[in-house]
A and B are shown apart, each in its own frame.
Chain A
Amino acid sequence: ETGVTQSPTHLIKTRGQQVTLRCSSQSGHNTVSWYQQALGQGPQFIFQYYREEENGRGNFPPRFSGLQFPNYSSELNVNALELDDSALYLCASSLGGVNEKLFFGSGTQLSVL
């Protein structure tokens, strides 16, 4: 059984650029959530995908978008990068359901210069 994997582990971009982060969910999991964790803070919910459909979104602007593929892997896309987008981006997978525990990847550290 493979765990949640994220790529790349680190990324440096400049303001205004676009970025795509990738996540492979744990085997058998059909739900993927994305979180942003700024330095010294807890993770903040960006959105969740269940069976290829977005089924929940946090307080993030539309330039944060995502996809989930038939194999349940997922992408997070961020357009028009801003300095404040610098953070650790965490992907978590689960079997779905409100009280299912989340399994997290190690994250992608994004730096926007």
Chain B
Amino acid sequence: DQQVKQNSPSLSVQEGRISILNCDYTNSMFDYFLWYKKYPAEGPTFLISISSIKDKNEDGRFTVFLNKSAKHLSLHIVPSQPGDSAVYFCAARADSNYQLIWGAGTKLIIKP
């Protein structure tokens, strides 16, 4: 039973345009969400997070939106740059549990 789902295995976006990566979750106990980026042969790198008490968090070119009623979050990257090409993972955590539950990842390809 996948509690965190990233339904798009890959996404191709033109350089300079907006990249939107989506994530859905089923567990209403999740109250903290994170996005990680992973390059080949490297471990995941933290990108941005959001608490369930917020609906938006912004950090430079990266913005995460949370829609609790729809159990959906999205990561917006504006403008997209070639270095953004990587696999992006959505992860969630319930306050009572330290473990992160991860989606399967979306491979983002930025085209020049």
- A binding-site residues for B, Cβ under 8 Å: 4, 33, 40-45, 48, 55-56, 58, 90, 92, 98-99, 101-107
Contacts and interface: CB of A to CB of B under 8 A. Distances in A.
A87 to B, nearest CB: 13
A30 to B, nearest CB: 13
Nearest to B43: A104
A56 B97 contact: yes
B43 A90 contact: yes
B43 A42 contact: no
A49 B103 CA distance: 23
Interface residues of B, number: 26
A58 B95 CA distance: 15
Contacts of B91: 42
A98 B29 CA distance: 14
Nearest to B6: A42
A79 to B, nearest CB: 22
Contacts of A90: 43-44
Contacts of B89: 42-43
Contacts of B104: 40-42
Contact of A44 (B6, B102, B105): B102
Contacts of B99: 33, 45, 48, 56, 58
A98 B93 contact: yes
Contacts of A103: 46
A112 to B, nearest CB: 20
Interface string B84-104: 000001010101011111111
Contacts of A106: 41-43
Interface in B34-52: 34, 36, 41-46, 49, 51
B110 interface: no
